[in-house]
Structure formats: C-alpha cells, structure tokens
Amino acid sequence: MITKPKGTYDLLGIDAKIYTYINHEIENFMANYNYDLIRTPIFEASELYHRSVGESSDIVTKETYDFVDRGNRCMTLRPEGTAGVVRSVVENKMYGNKNDCIKLYYNGTMYRYERPQSGRNREFTQFGVEVFNSNDPIIDAEVISLGYNLLNSLGIENVTVAINSLGDKETRHNYTEALVKYLEPHINSLCDDCQRRYKSNPLRILDCKVDKDSEILKNVPKLSDYLSKASSERFTKLKMLLANLDIDYEINDKIVRGLDYYDENVWEYVTTDDGITLGGGGRYNFLVENLGGPNLPAVGFALGIERIILNLKNKIDIDNLNNNIDVYIMSVNEEEKMQAIILAQNLRLNNVITEINSNNLSLKSQFKIADNLKAKFLVILNSDDLNKGLINVKDNATKEEIKIDESEIVDWILGNI
Ligand code: AMP
C-alpha cells in the first residue's frame, strides 16, 4: 500500500465539513470587507523566498522544499503566502492607481519541512490578507480586527491579539546593538539555534521556544524602551484604535515573528485557554521595494486553517454542518429509478437538497437511510401511481402521506420545505 507522505493528511469526514464551513464564512467576510481574492503559484523561484522571508530565517535555512526543475531552475514550494502576493503585485503593476489601497486575500496550501505534530504539518493551509498602499495604523487596525472578528464569527471567541512593535529601522538597529551587547557574555548558555541567530538575526532569539524561560531571556533589554518617537506614536494609535473596536488585545514584547520582512506593528492571534497561536502578521513596508517594486507600504496576516479546524472540532455542533436532506426519493424497479433521477435533477436545480436510492435497496433500507439523512420529505415512487401521473409524498415528521399530481410535485415541495 502506498501511504501519504509524512506530515501531510487527507482532508475528509468531519474535518472536511468544518473546512467547507470555514471557507464559506471567509467568502462572506471578505465580501463585506471588500477584499479581492488572489491566487498565486504553489511554487516560485527560490530566490523570491531568500529575498523576502530572509536568508537567516528558520524557514529558509531549514524548512523549504527546494527542487531543480527540468529546465535547471531552482524552485521552492511556497512556505508562506505573502512573498508570492507581493511578487504578483509588482509583476502585474497592481499599484496603478496611487490613491487606492489594494486589498487582497488568499487561501491555499503551504509547505514547510517541519517536525510533524498536532497542529504542525508539512503541508498546511493558510488564509491570509494583504493590504498595500497605506501606512496608516487605521489599516493595521482594520486588518487585525478582520482576523479577530473572523475567528469570533467562526465560533472561536476565546482569542486574544498579542501585539508588539518592532519599531522602524532605526529602532531595530539601536535595539539589536543593545541586545547583542547584553547577550555576549551569555552566548554559550543559549541553544544551538540561538547561537546561530546571535550572528545572523539576534532579534529572533527573543521568541526562542527553547530558551524562553531562561533567566537570560527574562532579563533582556526591552524593545519598547528603544522605540523611536514615530514608532511609539504609531503603536499608541494602534492600541487606541483596537480599544475602540472592542478587540481583546494584550501587549507581548517577545513577539518578533519568524519572517524577516516585518517592521513596526506585529501581532499574533492566540487562544486564551490553551495558548495556541492561530495566526499572525504585521507591517512590511519595505518588502515591495526589496522585490523590485515602488515604495509601497503594506500590512497583512495569515491564519492556519488546520489549527482553526482543530479548535472548532471541540465546540462546533457537527449536526448543523451536515447537509440535512430536504427530499429522499425512494424507488425499487427500473421505471421508478428512471423517474427518481429525473425528479431529483428537477428538485436539485431548484435548490432542493435531494438524495436518491442509488443501489438495489429494499424499501425498508431506504426508509432507514432517509431517516439517517434527516430527510424532511420522502417521495415514494411506485409504478402504479406513476402510470396515473401521481406521486406519493410523505412528511417524515408528521408521517402524513398524500398523492400529488406529477406536474405539481416540484412546486409543492418548494412550498412546503
Ligand atoms: P507563520 O506564517 O509562521 O506566521 O504562521 C501563521 C500561522 O500558520 C500559524 O499561527 C499557524 O496557525 C499556521 N502554521 C504555520 N506553520 C504551520 C505548520 N507547519 N502546520 C500547520 N499550521 C502552520
């Protein structure tokens, strides 16, 4: 037997139903917020991720799926969605109208060679939004609240937004200097990854999962003490906006995010009961320029769909997600079966959820299946009535049964479901 690759999964059963429900909710939400869908390739030139996610990031150094294609080009399966979206915005010169924001969302599979565990796969799905062409914290607040409200409306209410400011370039430069100086005498006590990060990207040491409880990290200089006036004002404005929008937020100065392109305001959506990070994002005002576009400020976030499914599985009423059937059409002989599929098509084209007997089942078995499907009405075809142009309909709740003229059956069902 050939089995699925390690770290991947088949989406099926209840998970597939929850996934469909989430996507439905996303479509509604994005229409209300007036964001447009964008779909970019699953693989891109490897260079794209080196120049955006960052040469020193864990993702690029340890986790990408890289391959050389048959034309000798270095390709990478996308580990995240932002870089591809930015590449597309630049390549398609979407910034034609300088006054408008470009508001986009995506939803697709990502690939990271990570150690698989619950909520961590090698192939996973992210929904994300990206807004270009506004540097106003009001857009940070719109984007943050969009994600928060979406999680709430899906049924995840125990979530808080952990926010932080990484500051502008000047802030990060000054803070990194102070951090490196502070860490220097302790460097040998840090984990191997942090020793590497010390040289390549010291800020990432702040959110190390291995060293996080050590005295060394507990006493690091505070990033907030180094914020420039402009960054500090921007962060203050964001906090005020979030409070006015009734967003449950908290400040967490250890959040630095795993991707190198972020600056200024960053955040994560974290569940309050079990502390699971469902997603995160931030500003990335220089990425468009770094990828060959104009100076175009931007902000965005991504949510992990698998973690949302895991969370909802414990609380959602699965019965509500099942397609409860409006009509089950019962048939036994060939003539009845022929009429069944014709009637089913008519009903389905009129938005009536309809199921038919698709095997040679006895009437008794068909009654049982109709009950399991919670069918509201049973249409019980029999040749004698069909020859007279009549159809039997039974209300499965009241058990009342009536005969209806064949030509009126669709209208009758539409009037009674
Ligand atoms: P990131 O792009 O690393 O900021 O991740 C954003 C969100 O995507 C995380 O909070 C997770 O919900 C989800 N995510 C990231 N990596 C994985 C993974 N390997 N497996 C499942 N979900 C993931």
Mean pLDDT of 275-290: 96
Q: What angle do CA 129, 307, 57 make, to 5 degrees?
A: 65
CB 165 within 8 A of CB 261: no
Ligand 1 pocket check for 123: Cβ under 6 Å: no
- pLDDT, tens digit (0-9, with 9 covering 90-100), for 285-322: 999 999 999 999 999 999 999 999 999 998 888 777 87
- Residue spans of alpha helices (H) in 36-164: 46-49, 58, 82-91, 137-154
Strand order in the sheet with 377-380: 354-356, 327-330, 377-380, 390-395, 401-405
pLDDT of residue 257: 82
Whether 188 shows a pLDDT value over 90: the answer reads no
Atom of ligand 1 nearest to the CA of 279: 10
Which DSSP string do the residues of 310-366 spell out, in sequence order? HHHHTTS-HHHHS---SEEEE--SHHHHHHHHHHHHHHHHTT--EEE--S---HHHH
Q: Per-domain residue ranges for the chain?
A: 13-168+228-312, 323-416
Query: Taking all residues of the chain, what is their mean pLDDT, rounded to a whole number?
Result: 94
What separation in Å is there between the alpha carbon of 309 and the centre of ligand 1?
13
Tell me how far the alpha carbon of residue 388 lies from the centroid of ligand 1, in angstroms: 62
CA of 350 to the centre of ligand 1 (A): 41
Task: Inform me whether the pLDDT recorded for 247 exceeds 90.
Answer: yes
Q: From 3.30.70.20, 3.30.930.10, 1.10.443.10, 3.40.50.300, which CATH number describes the 13-168+228-312 domain?
A: 3.30.930.10
Please compute, for residue 237, the number of CA atoms within 13 A of its CA located in the half-sphere on the CB side. Answer: 16
∠ CA 251-52-223, nearest 5°, is 25
What average pLDDT does this structure show over 48-76?
91
Closest CA to 302 of 64, 63, 80, 118: 80
User: Does the model's pTM come out above 0.85?
Assistant: yes
Pocket test for ligand 1, best of 124, 148, 303 (most atoms within 8 A of CB): 124
DSSP 120: B
Confidence of residue 187 (pLDDT cuts 50, 70, 90): confident
What number does the ligand 1 atom closest to the CA of 120 have?
20
For residue 147, how far is its CA from the centre of ligand 1 (angstroms)? 14
Q: Is the CB of 83 under 6 A from ligand 1?
A: no
Average pLDDT in the 153-179 region?
94
First-to-last C-alpha distance (Å) of the chain: 46
List C-alpha distances in Å: 2 to 6, 112, 289: 12, 22, 45
User: What is the number of the ligand 1 atom nearest to the C-alpha of 308?
Assistant: 12
The string of pLDDT tens digits covering residues 127-162 is 999 999 999 999 999 999 999 999 999 999 999 999
59-68, 202-211, 299-308, 391-400: segment of lowest average pLDDT: 202-211
Determine the distance separating the centroid of ligand 1 and the alpha carbon of 161, expressed in angstroms.
16
- Residue to mutate, 9, 65, 107, 110, ligand 1, most ligand atoms under 8 Å from C-beta: 110
- Angstrom distance (rounded) from CA 40 to CA 108: 9
Determine what percent of the chain is predicted with pLDDT higher than 90: 79
Check pocket membership of 277 for ligand 1, CB cut-off 6 A: yes
58 CB near ligand 1 (under 6 Å): no
pLDDT at 292: 95
pLDDT band, residue 53 (cuts 50/70/90): confident
Of 261, 277, 299, best ligand 1 pocket probe by most atoms within 8 Å of the beta carbon: 277
How far apart CA 71 and CA 407 sit, in angstroms, is 62
Fold agreement (13-168+228-312, 323-416)? no
Whether 212 shows a pLDDT value over 80: the answer reads: no
What CATH number belongs to 323-416? 3.40.50.800
Distance of CA 380 to the CA centre of its chain: 43
Min mean pLDDT across 53-67, 96-110, 198-212 is at 198-212
